[in-house]
Amino acid sequence: MVAVNSSLNAGVSLGHPNVRKIGLADLRDVLRKGIDDFGAMPTHSIFLIVIYPIVGLILLRLSFGYDMLPVVFPLIAGFALLGPLVAIGLYEMSRRRDQGLPPSWKVLNVFSLPRVRSIATLGVVLMVIFLAWLGAAMAIYQSTFGAWTPPSFGEFARQIFTTPSGSTLILVGCGVGFLFALVTFAVSVVSFPMLVDRDIGVEAAVRTSIRAVAVNPVTMAVWGLIVTSALLIGSLPVLIGLAIVLPVLGHSTWHLYRKLVGR
């Protein structure tokens, strides 16, 4: 406990915001507040986020249309890495509601200078991680199946779930994907809402985000599991469910940030 407090105090002395320790009850509270935000302004939320599943559907269709079945799952899974960037408008909406301001298209003000540069920089970082994940996923596929192109979805599924190569692909792919997700989560879970909330540099925001995860490893691991489960459920009806799941998670993430980071 002394070590944790020393670490937090050191962070504050270096000009970084204080990071609080939270528990599982706080996660229930942020989800409740996220659902409440969504219920208070569902039209705005869905409009801001619906482009996400639409783009996902387009990418999914292109993948099937050009015999790129091996990249479908990595594409959908990796697309979730960009979620924190897509939810920028939702963070601003929750911030305005916290301040007693009515929801309006003034949420777009978050993209004005000086914050736009920091948000764009961190967005580029997420894009790089996303592209790196796609490259890694294709490299894993080629190392297990070579240049084989599946003739149909049925045959592709049979090879994946009933052959040794398929088992290797699943195990290695999920392991590598977990590492990409962990890095993205630690870097972005607090940093994006923090950049919306205050004038702070990318480095300070990312450091604060990583410290928040380090100080709350169990609680943040549970939050990561909640996010992953919600995204999986939202993706099942051909990604359409994400139009509801993502706004709720976006609003909830704002409230999670407010609990984790002191003023």
| Cα torsion 86, 135, 223, 9: sign | negative
pLDDT digits (tens, 9 = 90+) for 188-208: 999 999 998 888 889 999 999
For the stretch 179-188, pLDDT in tens is 999 999 999 9
Q: Which of 43-52, 62-71, 253-262 tops mean pLDDT?
A: 253-262
What residues have CB less than 8 Å from 47, skipping those under 6 apart?
A: none
pTM of the model: 0.82
pLDDT tens digit sequence for 56-110: 666 666 666 556 778 778 877 777 788 888 888 889 889 888 888 877 666 566 5
> Tokens 């080629």 belong to which residue?
142
Helix axes 42-49, 24-40, angle to 10 degrees: 100
